Amino acid sequence: MLKNIRHEAFLIGGSLFFALNSVPAKLVMESGISPFRLTQIRITGAFLLMFLYVFIRNRQSLRIAKSEIPMLIAFGVIGFAVVNGLYFSAIERLNVSIALIIEFSAPIWIVLWMRFIKKRNVSNLMWSGLSIGFTGLLLVGQVWRGLTLDGVGLIFAFVDAFALAFYFVVGERFVKAKGSEVTMALGFGVSAGFFAIVMPWWSFPFEVFSKSIELTGRFSGNSLPGWLLVLWVIVGGTAVPYFLVLTGLKGLSAATSSVIGMLEPVFGGVLAWFFLFEKLTVMQFIGSCVVLIGIYLADRARTSI
């Protein structure tokens, strides 16, 4: 019981850190760096940190069998590069709340895959938790305020949801076999290599590091150097939350872990309200409570799948 609570705490912490990353990441992008370049630097920086840590601690653990290479490549490209890249592509064409709602339909696809492809039993409690949690997300996102949908944006968002589902399912397998740190080092490494090929480093806008970036919201009137904000995105917004999520996956199923991930939009709304003075409506507060109820029900059902 205590072990499960610990893994749940890791996943909740991961969602919180991912949400915290939205504010500095937004500031960096507003300074002129593209979303894909920011994704490249955050993943490459996190890779260097994790690789150095694992290499010093236990370099033998980085060895992989030939049979693992195809799945590792898929995990690194789809689970890290595609998830981040398609999310940014989706929000360029869709209302952010709509894109987030579609992305966090990932738990539904995971449970459907487990029920109809893997032929595993899925309890009614899990279905109820998913339905309630997803309804809460609809309220948090206030989807009725942004119903002008772009077809290509919808495709990006749904493929992103499938990629996120893939990340949880394959990540669960890797962390139980290799541990969180090694899984991160290998996954980030593949993703960093992929970005280096499609977006060569010699054209990277390194001037972002020397910029003085103006803060907004609660800290309006102050500024921070670009390198400090980018460093936060790498460490606090990438390495730390991915470590927490993958560690949580050790003790929980992919389905339960992805449901707990629904907390990220909730945390994001609260943080945007606190730091950026964005309004948090009564309906969004009710939706947040509904999400928590759904997560609680799905968590209680974890022993069934």
pLDDT given for residue 254 in this prediction = 83
pLDDT given for residue 305 in this prediction = 47
State yes or no: pLDDT of 66 exceeds 80: yes
Beta bridge partners of 224: 213
pLDDT given for residue 1 in this prediction = 59
**Listed range (61-70, 144-153, 273-282) with the worst mean pLDDT:** 144-153
Q: How far apart are CA 108 and CA 134, in angstroms?
A: 9
In tens, the pLDDT along 222-266 reads 999 999 999 999 999 899 999 999 998 888 878 888 888 888 878
Q: How far apart are CA 250 and CA 174, in angstroms?
A: 9
Q: How sure is the predictor about 46, in pLDDT bands with cuts at 50, 70 and 90?
A: very high
Average pLDDT, the chain: 85
**Listed range (2-16, 132-146, 148-162) with the worst mean pLDDT:** 132-146
177 versus 92: the higher-pLDDT residue is 177
The model carries a pTM of 0.85
State yes or no: pLDDT of 3 exceeds 70: no
Query: Contact 256/296 with Cβ under 8 angstroms?
Result: no
Q: How sure is the predictor about 144, in pLDDT bands with cuts at 50, 70 and 90?
A: low
State yes or no: pLDDT of 188 exceeds 70: yes
Q: Count of CB atoms within 10 A of residue 172's CB?
A: 23
Tokens of 288: 């947040």
If you write DSSP's letter for every residue of 72-134 in order, what string do you get? HHHHHIIIIIIHHHHHHHHHHHS-HHHHHHHHTTHHHHHHHHHHHTS-----HHHHHHHHHHH
Percent of the chain residues past pLDDT 90, beyond the cut: 33
